[in-house]
A and B are shown apart, each in its own frame.
Chain A
């Protein structure tokens, strides 16, 4: 079996497809990482410039009321975007900068190269391993050597794996080298760990496609039909399934648009709230009128006389003033209660929307696992902290930050007010140098690896499935 594997590797090392594929892949990886490292450096410079401008601005014109803009100066670019651009390509997590070009022409990163180029390369290496030998007539010869068919296919698979591993490892090393040389900020041990795990996951992904090519090759008899079948499979798995999944998910679990949600919420917090408050107030007044004759008397007064009667130092009936106070308290309570009830309703609506959005994303993820390609993307973006998991962490940390920021603002306002009770503390220029600044806390490697485990499992399941198909297909293969 090993002899066979070694023969396969030696055979393919000199072929056109091997040389062309390896050269193309290594060149692409080098150019992509170099360009993205350059882009990353520019984004880092832009980000620190924005921070500096903001600091200068706050130092000179800092009002507590103006700190809102200080909170949204953006998040530092993720160091691993040099390899894995992830979500930053479409949604603008890093800055409020919008460039339509990357949407029209998405940028190529290492993940895209592995997903598109290496999967294709793996198929090109393997699609005719069995059907090609049959056509050349050497398959009969090979099967007369006394090797069992599973051993034979195992040897072919090992050989194919070895062949594809050479350009893959070459490309990975190139990517690592260029990242080290060109990236303006050296990666930490965590990032290198993540890079190694991405490399391993990518290898698993590429081997899935090698197994797929072999499986197709055992199901077809002519190299031409093998070639066509693997390309059809490739189109479906790499190009169609990932993009179709969110579409289908949105059809199955539709979401109202954000505007619709906002409309419902603003109605709840506006007209509905006013109506509720009025009703609660009327009910409370009715109750008080029944309980307290002074209240009833007060309510019978002409509105123009009420202010006079309600004044605590008025010469009139003191019970009327007490009744007015009761009514005023009841009215405040009704306002508060109305705000609370409608606020809770709105929160529930928002939470429901978020839950449904999460359900849609999960469904899309689940559907996209009909192909190994999205599994690798999820794995890479989770490990590199540029994907959906990163977005969730970032949002949680930003929320935590804004709560802390509000606490700081109010504490500062209180301090200023103690110093000068008359001052308009929110609009007075103030030293804001102790204002909290947002920094994203990266997740440790162990957590990222745990998050990547299901995707690795998915890739392994695909590999085993394709190998099983290859073994079964070859067991019934007519070698003549």
Chain B
């Protein structure tokens, strides 16, 4: 039998030792308890949200189509509720689903955020558990815990010298330690992940539909990369320190900063560097600007109505058009300004958060699960598209003019057919469109840099 390469021998030894260790057993138990259960529960919560969404959307359309002609005129501020359908992959990462409005109001002058939908009353203070939470916090911590003493332990036990006395290069030692140790973290993750998919199938999800498996696979790949990064981080710390204690303190401190501090400070930093006014302030500003235009329009129309009471209908359109255009432009400009600022703030926050591998993981997984930032943006874009439709089919066809004296004139285009107004459609991205290569690249880069660091540090390590 040919001799096994030393890397594999060491890896096998690590696995054999690891399989019996308390850390491995605990991680496996935790993962098997939390991942399938959270996927199952979150999937069921998705189903409830889905049926609620269908019902609310239908109710909103019924309300619109049940409006009489008079109601259409006398409601110049008429707004149509539009809801973002939830996606089954939200079971992996609830993202902003719980707290963020999946509901907007489409009106004459743009799209407004609706009030947030219900938040489960007991989730307020702590938030729930999802797959992302388990990988982000627990697996990263265990990865560090499994590797922080990989080298120092052998040194303290005196076995490091005897290993290196054999024909084993330091590179093989590092590679073997990584392969063996990483398997011990990856194994519980993969096993629990598969058990989770099974739980989803039991809950009634058709796994083969809508690219769900592709999304799951990408999520698993990014999770494994992420766990590898933290394993390598522990390994690097282990090669840079002489004693197990010091290795523990340093790796915990680094873990704390990378996982809990850096990503969570990102938004604070971004808010300080690029402040944005509240959406409500923008809304009020918009209302004030539109009211000014409306008043000027009333004054202009007064003259038209005064001139010739019989033919005002024809003259009206010519007078009104520039005002309506101005109103649309003003509303659009204010919205656009606000959005540009929000985007600038967000991209800074994301850039800072991505300085940590955790930021990249959160971004990648929430995007892939369809609950990330771009899902919200896409929903808004779709809602704006729908606003154009409504504008063409509805808002432009009814009018109510308020003249300076308080007189009201209203009318409707005869071609208005409220029953034929199309329903809102949203366009969820496919798995490939949700793929954030940049995040994967960041995770890979972290892994390579840490591996290189560990290798260099080990080659200079004093094994005595």
Give residues in A with beta carbon < 8 Å to B: 16-17, 20-21, 24, 28, 31-32, 35-36, 38-39, 42-43, 46-47, 49-50, 53-54, 56-57, 60-61, 73-74, 86-87, 90-92, 95-108, 112, 116-117, 120, 124, 128, 223-225, 227-228, 231-232, 235, 239-240, 242-247, 249-251, 255, 257-260, 263, 357-358, 360-361, 363-365, 368, 374, 377-378, 381, 387-388, 391, 428
> Is the beta-carbon distance between B23 and A377 smaller than 8 angstroms?
no
- Contact partner of A35 (CB less than 8 A), chosen from B38, B256, B257, B272, is B272
Interface of A is mostly: helix
> Is the beta-carbon distance between B126 and A227 smaller than 8 angstroms?
no
* Residues from chain B with Cβ under 8 Å of A391 in the complex: 124
> Is the beta-carbon distance between B264 and A105 smaller than 8 angstroms?
yes
* Residues from chain B with Cβ under 8 Å of A235 in the complex: 30, 137-138, 141
> Is the beta-carbon distance between A246 and B118 smaller than 8 angstroms?
no
The answer for the CA separation of A368 and B373 in the assembled complex, in Å, is: 31
Among A223, A232, A378, find the residue whose CB has the most chain B CB atoms closer than 10 A. A232
- Name the residue of chain A whose CB is nearest to the CB of B133: A243
Decide yes or no: A103 and B99 within 8 Å by CB, A28-B261, A251-B41, A388-B125 being known contacts. yes
The answer for the CA separation of A479 and B264 in the assembled complex, in Å, is: 44
- Name the residue of chain A whose CB is nearest to the CB of B257: A24
* Residues from chain A with Cβ under 8 Å of B376 in the complex: 100
A460 → chain B closest CB, angstroms: 21
Render B272-294 as a binary contact track against A, CB cut-off 8 A, 1 for contact. 10010111110011011001000
> Is the beta-carbon distance between A46 and B126 smaller than 8 angstroms?
no
Interface residues of B in 245-276 (CB under 8 A from A): 245-246, 248-250, 252-253, 256-257, 260-261, 263-272, 275
Decide yes or no: A231 and B34 within 8 Å by CB, A24-B253, A60-B291 being known contacts. no
B128 within 8 A of A: yes
- Name the residue of chain B whose CB is nearest to the CB of A96: B280
* Residues from chain B with Cβ under 8 Å of A363 in the complex: 122
> Is the beta-carbon distance between A35 and B279 smaller than 8 angstroms?
no
B318 within 8 A of A: no
> Is the beta-carbon distance between A17 and B249 smaller than 8 angstroms?
yes
* Residues from chain B with Cβ under 8 Å of A243 in the complex: 126-129, 133
B30 → chain A closest CB, angstroms: 8
- Name the residue of chain A whose CB is nearest to the CB of B130: A243
> Is the beta-carbon distance between B99 and A361 smaller than 8 angstroms?
no
- Contact partner of B119 (CB less than 8 A), chosen from A28, A91, A377, is A91
> Is the beta-carbon distance between A57 and B284 smaller than 8 angstroms?
yes
- Contact partner of B284 (CB less than 8 A), chosen from A53, A259, A263, A387, is A53
> Is the beta-carbon distance between A116 and B268 smaller than 8 angstroms?
no
- Name the residue of chain B whose CB is nearest to the CB of A362: B122
B232 within 8 A of A: no
A253 → chain B closest CB, angstroms: 9
> Is the beta-carbon distance between A108 and B406 smaller than 8 angstroms?
no
How many residues of chain B have a CB within 8 Å of chain A? 86
Decide yes or no: A57 and B287 within 8 Å by CB, A105-B359, A247-B41, A257-B118 being known contacts. yes
B101 within 8 A of A: yes
- Contact partner of A95 (CB less than 8 A), chosen from B272, B280, B373, is B280
Decide yes or no: A246 and B280 within 8 Å by CB, A24-B253, A101-B267, A239-B137 being known contacts. no
Render B108-126 as a binary contact track against A, CB cut-off 8 A, 1 for contact. 0000010111111111111
* Residues from chain B with Cβ under 8 Å of A260 in the complex: 52
- Contact partner of A360 (CB less than 8 A), chosen from B118, B121, B342, B346, is B121
* Residues from chain B with Cβ under 8 Å of A223 in the complex: 244-245
B216 within 8 A of A: no
A35 → chain B closest CB, angstroms: 4
The answer for the CA separation of A387 and B126 in the assembled complex, in Å, is: 11
- Name the residue of chain B whose CB is nearest to the CB of A23: B253
Decide yes or no: A46 and B253 within 8 Å by CB, A31-B265, A103-B96, A377-B125 being known contacts. no
> Is the beta-carbon distance between B116 and A98 smaller than 8 angstroms?
yes
Among B23, B260, B342, find the residue whose CB has the most chain A CB atoms closer than 10 A. B260
The answer for the CA separation of A28 and B253 in the assembled complex, in Å, is: 12
- Contact partner of B100 (CB less than 8 A), chosen from A39, A47, A100, A374, is A100
* Residues from chain A with Cβ under 8 Å of B281 in the complex: 46, 49-50, 53
Q: Can you report 30 A-B residue pairs in the complex whose CB atoms are below 8 A from each other? A: A16-B245, A24-B257, A35-B269, A39-B268, A50-B281, A60-B291, A90-B99, A90-B124, A90-B125, A92-B99, A95-B280, A98-B100, A98-B101, A103-B98, A103-B99, A105-B263, A105-B264, A105-B266, A105-B353, A106-B127, A112-B260, A117-B256, A124-B249, A228-B22, A228-B23, A240-B30, A249-B122, A259-B52, A361-B121, A381-B125
**With A60-B288, A104-B372, A105-B267 given, can you name 4 additional A-B contacts, CB distance below 8 Å?**
A35-B265, A102-B267, A377-B126, A387-B125
Decide yes or no: A225 and B362 within 8 Å by CB, A35-B272, A90-B127 being known contacts. no
B26 within 8 A of A: yes
A369 → chain B closest CB, angstroms: 13
A269 → chain B closest CB, angstroms: 14
> Is the beta-carbon distance between A108 and B264 smaller than 8 angstroms?
yes
B95 within 8 A of A: yes
> Is the beta-carbon distance between A57 and B278 smaller than 8 angstroms?
no
> Is the beta-carbon distance between A246 and B271 smaller than 8 angstroms?
no
> Is the beta-carbon distance between B285 and A53 smaller than 8 angstroms?
yes
> Is the beta-carbon distance between B288 and A56 smaller than 8 angstroms?
yes
B206 within 8 A of A: no
Interface residues of B in 273-321 (CB under 8 A from A): 275, 277-281, 284-285, 287-288, 291
> Is the beta-carbon distance between B122 and A364 smaller than 8 angstroms?
yes
The answer for the CA separation of A247 and B94 in the assembled complex, in Å, is: 13
- Contact partner of A86 (CB less than 8 A), chosen from B122, B125, B244, B406, is B125
The answer for the CA separation of A41 and B359 in the assembled complex, in Å, is: 27
